[in-house]
Structure 1
């Protein structure tokens, strides 16, 4: 289920900088975006621009987005971060994340109408500059039924910044690829 983003005060930096973050997103070439690696959970065109993968900085990408990088690096226990893009007509089916040791946040950047995410029994639409926070081990699905692309800044971070996080081996394999990123 959704949680109150105010529970993680460091997320405020994302909301404060959201227009600058969106400007960096809009300046990126689409050639930098790659398909989400878990193709079995979605129909359509879901692409990502990773900034962090399993705690490892994607230096070349972060250099293209210095404001975004500064904002996300202030989040304790940051593991995964990147722009998540759903083309018109894309549907991500019901699925679960891999570990309850992390939380997921979305910052709305390009948020057309008729795009939403369901987490457990609750459905919400993204809003420009709006934050969503949830445990992705709760069943969730997302869709873009609009005629425009939806993009959010997606982040995974440790519930306990000092704890180790354990992912299944097949998930870590996505992170070892040149461009893969865990998640949903």
Structure 2
């Protein structure tokens, strides 16, 4: 199905570009164990990435989104290595909702927003206000991949 296809677009990019580091959220953990591959970042479309993920881009362009230069939309693949924990953190505002769409999710992966903790399930999106404290864990032996994007 479509989830497998957009997950493969990420995998193909990573495999083809294995010698280059992925973008990372260094301000949170300064680690490649949690990486981001941006299709849109702060309102700017990253064309060289989008060209290699046409199905993902087609889906993202049909979704109502923030369109403010320098702010949004933002959309990216988030890769979390095996045995890696993203510590509790919050977003900077609550003017939009965040969607986490699990694409490649091994067993023993979970996500918590506030007091609500759930296992990641492939294809089951979670929409939330990221100004509420949240964290994630991949306690498996494989990499977890989700698509994260904001909606308006």
The TM-score by the shorter chain falls in which range?
Answer: 0.7 to 0.9
Partner of 2:22: 33
Alpha-carbon RMSD: 1.8
CA distance in 1, matches of 2:135, 2:39: 23
Which blocks of at least 5 consecutive residues in structure 1 are unaligned? Answer: 1-15, 159-184
Q: What is the TM-score with the length of structure 1 in the denominator?
A: 0.71
Is this contact kept in 1: 2:7–2:145, CA < 8 A? no
CA distance in 2, matches of 1:94, 1:157: 22
Is this contact kept in 2: 1:115–1:144, CA < 8 A? yes
Alpha-carbon spacing, 1:126–1:155, altered in 2? closer, same or farther (3 Å): same
Q: What is the TM-score with the length of structure 2 in the denominator?
A: 0.86
CA distance in 2, matches of 1:113, 1:145: 8
* Aligned with residue 113 of structure 1, among 107, 112, 137: 107
Is this contact kept in 2: 1:98–1:137, CA < 8 A? yes
How far apart are residue 44 of structure 1 and its match?
A: 6.9
Alpha-carbon spacing, 1:133–1:111, altered in 2? closer, same or farther (3 Å): same
Per-residue Cα deviation, 1:65-106 (whole angstroms, up to 9, x for no partner): 001001011111241101000001211111111110011101
User: Matched residue pairs, number?
Assistant: 142
Alpha-carbon spacing, 1:44–1:145, altered in 2? closer, same or farther (3 Å): farther
Per-residue Cα deviation, 1:137-173 (whole angstroms, up to 9, x for no partner): 1111111111100010011223xxxxxxxxxxxxxxx
Which blocks of at least 5 consecutive residues in structure 2 are unaligned? Answer: 67-72
Partner of 2:57: 69
CA distance in 2, matches of 1:22, 1:85: 11
Is 1:99 the counterpart of 2:67? The answer is no
CA distance in 1, matches of 2:76, 2:36: 7
* Aligned with residue 7 of structure 2, among 22, 34, 44: 22
How far apart are residue 126 of structure 1 and its match?
A: 1.3
CA distance in 1, matches of 2:5, 2:50: 14
